[in-house]
Amino acid sequence: MPIFADENNKLFTIETKSSTYQMAVGEYGHLLHVYYGKRIGCEHIGSGFLNADLRYLVTYYDRGFAGNPNDTGMDRTYSLDALPQEYPCFGTGDYRSTALQIRNAEGVSCCDLRYQSVRVREGKYSIPGMPAVYADSEKVDQKEGTGSWGRDSADTAASAQTLEIVLEDSVLGLEVTLLYGVLSDSDVITRAVKIRNCGAQTVYIEKAASCCVDFLYGDFDLIHFHGRHGMERQLERSPLLRAEQVLQSRRGASSHQQNPFFILASRETGETKGECYGFQLLYSGNFKGEALTDQYGQTRALLGISDELFSWELRPQETFDTPEAALCYSVEGLERLSDEYHRLLRRHVCRGVWRDRRRPVLINSWEAAYFDFDADKLERIAAQAAELGVEMLVLDDGWFGKRDSDNTGLGDWYVNEEKLGCPLGEVARRVNQLGMRFGLWIEPEMVSEDSDLYRTHPDWAFTIPGRSPIRGRNQLVLDFSRKEVVDHVLDQITEVVSHANIAYIKMDMNRHLTDIYSLGARAQNQGTTLHRYVLGVYDFLERLGERFPEILIEGCAGGGGRFDAGMLYYTPQIWCSDNTDAIERLRIQYGTSFGYPISAVGSHVSAVPNHQTGRSTDIETRGVVAMAGTFGYELDLNLITDQEKETVRRQIQDYIQYSDLIQEGRYWRLSSPMENEEYTAWEFSSEDGSDALLNLIRTGAHCNSPVQYVRLRGLAPDGWYRLEETESTRHAHRQKNAGNAILANEKKLYPGSALMSAGLPVPWMNGAYQAWQVHIVREK
Ligand code: GLA
């Protein structure tokens, strides 16, 4: 069993496949953090003793200018400003940033949590109304039409355990339960916190992180993923300073600008070696990640809902749940850390029938037609796409209300039959007749001032009394913290979806939140609005999923503005970025891959010159890049050449052929686009190394340049492999008469160990941004 709770010794240990996490109750009742790192290997000895009591690591010294709790008497060696803690509170003499801050009705901020009890139970805890990791990971091979949606009831699968440690502040009457979840097939430890007011007075939660980890020593680099609209999740790595480093969003969504995922890595850690720790939050709103190295060289990492613009009134007997954080430790470098997160999100976070099904190859109308379409034009786009093998047409923005530009119509979720020329059901039928599924775009959280909804309910949009609301993309945000608003929009959309054969929904969100004031909340509760908004979005998605369990829902927020593990609980894929330029996507998808699986990454081939950057790349290059995701198209395929059409036809066949490898296989970053200016390469391999797909894009173009080499991963060292260019890239290269070293050598067998240790020379490819995609098959 992975959890050892030694009540007599007050020593609590969690062991995963490769890590050990230990806590102990200190002499005065504080829950101290003892160790998180490489697996020690605990065993029950006698009546519950462990052979791995690591409390000797925690030292006690008299520290200058560090206070001591009153009950330590004359003992000056016990200071919470220096001791490693599991859930540090503001008001205990710890001057570092803390996990919990409570204000009472008199306005006093102080909380002092002491240990009360411990409990271990089978199964993984869940969190009411919020995303959480679940245990059951069986691959579901459901036939169409038999799917169910939710997994929200408490998970009792035997393959998981929950550790609950109850702490209490006796003055406030506050009970804080720290929850830890462990799955037998994962190296992840999940954490969440339940705060209950058992006292007689109302208190205010001013900050409640989901997790805190205090490291006793170590020189760490912080790896985080910053960005902007159209350039999300750019990796940045820098040494931790002796200062507080904060990663956060104040935008009401997890945001393009920062991602609720970061890594602390030892200085020498790289892809294949070294220690690193991942911190990932399953939450889609404002968050705060903190990494700080203190005066003694100890590092504290915190992650949770942001305390800015947050204040939660907790009346007697009420409970507050934090979002969940998923922690992971790897001793084998960053690729192993990513692999653990990929498996976790794919099997223990994403839900519904589409979790394990191959996602349909789609064509999206946005960059093909923008707002300018009717049913006939859509049918023309669909017909050409169907002829080449595309499986679904997605009708993007512009089908509803009075919506011929992005200035009007949001909130009016009824079909604009005049524009389409027929009912939506008819459009779906015409698409279905081509052998394709039909999908639809929605943006439920938003409202245009020029809409019937706004004219009827102006008070449903966030507006500060006495002020005019700030516009973003000329639209306002509906107050989803109010149930009646969510109910109304959900019913409108249900009506539309019920009257057409819809197989897919793209749920968009195209601006961040301002004017945070809810008519649904009292003055002292306005600080809850942003969190309640996120809960409203989750409620919308949960009920939409329940009503239409067969529909595949793709998340989107102006591309990747809400690309987080919380959303993946409701939408198994998310449009990764509005930037469809294949070369820019290399960096975006590279950064995204550290925390998120390929099956979550919405990625499409679009037209050239690219609509965002003006750059032109060949169709096979765009195809190879888009295949590192849920593959699709975002252009009118009637407008490309016959040769390109033939490449597209083969691309789709390739994608379908390799979809298991891509969606379910192991993913390897073979080079970094942030460092390597010559090429970017990545690979998918099957679990047993029987085959792999190498993908490489040349990003440098030089005269008489040095030969580049790429080393593969995930093959059997004693295996022999055949190399074969994929049909689509081979076809494109033949058309261009591009010399390709591998093409000439297809009969040759290569030893797996050599492909991994010595690598492969990258063939000479004339022209910028050439693609090379090779299927590597074990022959013996
Ligand atoms: C956002 C999305 C795009 C598209 C437009 C439609 O920007 O990210 O893919 O759906 O909205 O307005």
Q: Which long-range contacts (CB under 8 A, 24 or more apart) does 75-79 make?
A: 78/26, 78/27, 78/28
Q: Give the whole-angstrom CA distance, residue 537 versus residue 531.
A: 10
Tokens found for residue 696: 């490489």
Residues 6 or more apart in contact with residue 407 via CB below 8 angstroms: 448, 450, 474
What token pair was written down for 748? 């040759």
Q: Closest Cα to atom 11, ligand 1: which residue?
A: 558
pLDDT digits (tens, 9 = 90+) for 455-466: 999 999 999 999
State the amino acid at position 69 in one-letter form: P
Write the secondary structure of 98-116 as one string of H (helix), E (strand) and C (coil). Answer: CCEEEEECCCCECCCCEEE
Q: What is the 3-state secondary structure (H, E, C) of 219-277?
A: CEEEEEEEEECCEEEEEEEEECCCCEEEEECCCCCCCCCEEEEEEEEECCCCCCCECEE
Q: What is the largest CA-CA distance in the chain?
A: 86
Cβ-contact 409, 451 below 8 angstroms: yes
d(CA 705, CA 432): 51
Residue nearest to atom 4 of ligand 1 (CA): 366
With vertex at residue 334, the alpha carbon angle to CA 332 and CA 336, rounded to the nearest 5 degrees, is 55
- DSSP secondary structure letters along 172-237: TTEEEEEEEEEETT-SEEEEEEEEEE-SSS-EEEEEEEEEEEEESS--EEEEEEEEETTEEEEEEE
Kindly provide the b/e burial profile for residues 708-731, where b requires at least 16 CB atoms within 10 angstroms of the residue's own CB. bebbbbbbbeebbbbbebbbbbbb
**In Å, how far are 131, 257, 487 from 284, measured between CA atoms?**
10, 13, 20
pLDDT score at 47: 63
How many residues are recorded in the chain?
780
The predicted structure's pLDDT at residue 736: 79
Whether 86 contacts 167, CB under 8 Å: no
**Mutate which of 367, 370, 395, 397 to test ligand 1's pocket (most atoms within 8 Å of Cβ)?**
397
Q: How many whole angstroms from 508 Cα to the centroid of ligand 1? A: 7
Which residue ranges of the chain lie beneath pLDDT 70?
1, 46-49, 137-158, 737-745
For residues 42 and 50, the answer to whether their CB atoms sit within 8 Å is: yes
Q: Three-state SS for 7? A: coil
DSSP assigned state of 564: S
Task: Round to the nearest angstrom and report the end-to-end CA distance of the chain.
Answer: 39
Position in ligand 1 atom list of the atom nearest CA 506 = 10
List the structure tokens of 280.
């990932």
Lining ligand 1 with CB less than 6 A are 366, 396-397, 406, 441, 508, 510, 556, 558-559, 575, 578
Find out whether 374 and 419 touch, Cβ atoms under 8 Å.
yes
User: Nearest Cα to 719, choosing from 653, 650, 780, 636?
Assistant: 780
The backbone region for 727, taken as left when phi is positive above 0, alpha when psi lies in -120 to 50, beta otherwise, is alpha
Residue with tokens 């691959």: 139
Q: Which atom of ligand 1 is nearest to the CA of 406?
A: 12
Distance CA 427, CA 440 (A): 11
What is the signed CA dihedral for 439, 441, 445, 449, rounded to 10 degrees? Answer: -140
What contacts 468, CB < 8 A, 6 or more positions away? none
Tens digit of pLDDT for each residue in 494-542?
999 999 999 999 999 999 999 999 998 999 899 999 999 999 999 999 9
How many angstroms separate the alpha carbon of residue 589 from the centre of ligand 1?
18
Active site residues: 564, 644
Q: What is the pTM of this model?
A: 0.97
Cα–ligand 1 centroid distance for 488 (angstroms):
23
The single-letter DSSP state of residue 89 is: B
Report the C-alpha gap between 351 and 142 in whole angstroms: 12
Q: Ligand 1: distance of its center to the CA of 509 in Å?
A: 8
- Distance from the alpha carbon of residue 558 to the mean position of ligand 1, in angstroms: 5
Per-position DSSP letters for 290-329, written without gaps between them = EEEE-TTS-EEEEEEE-STT--EEE-TT-EEEPPEEEEEE
Per DSSP, the three-state class of 114 is: strand
Ligand 1, atom 1: closest residue by C-alpha: 558
CA–CA dist 233, 576 (Å, integer): 10
- Do the beta carbons of residue 118 and residue 7 sit within 8 Å? yes
Rounded to a whole number of angstroms, the CA Rg of the chain reads 27
Residue 87: left (phi > 0), alpha (psi -120 to 50), or beta? beta
Among 232, 370, 396, 475, residue to substitute to test ligand 1 (most atoms within 8 Å of Cβ) = 396
Atom of ligand 1 nearest to the CA of 634: 9
Ligand 1 atom, smallest distance to 559 CA: 8
444 Cα distance to chain centroid:
21
CB neighbourhood size of 107 (10 A): 7
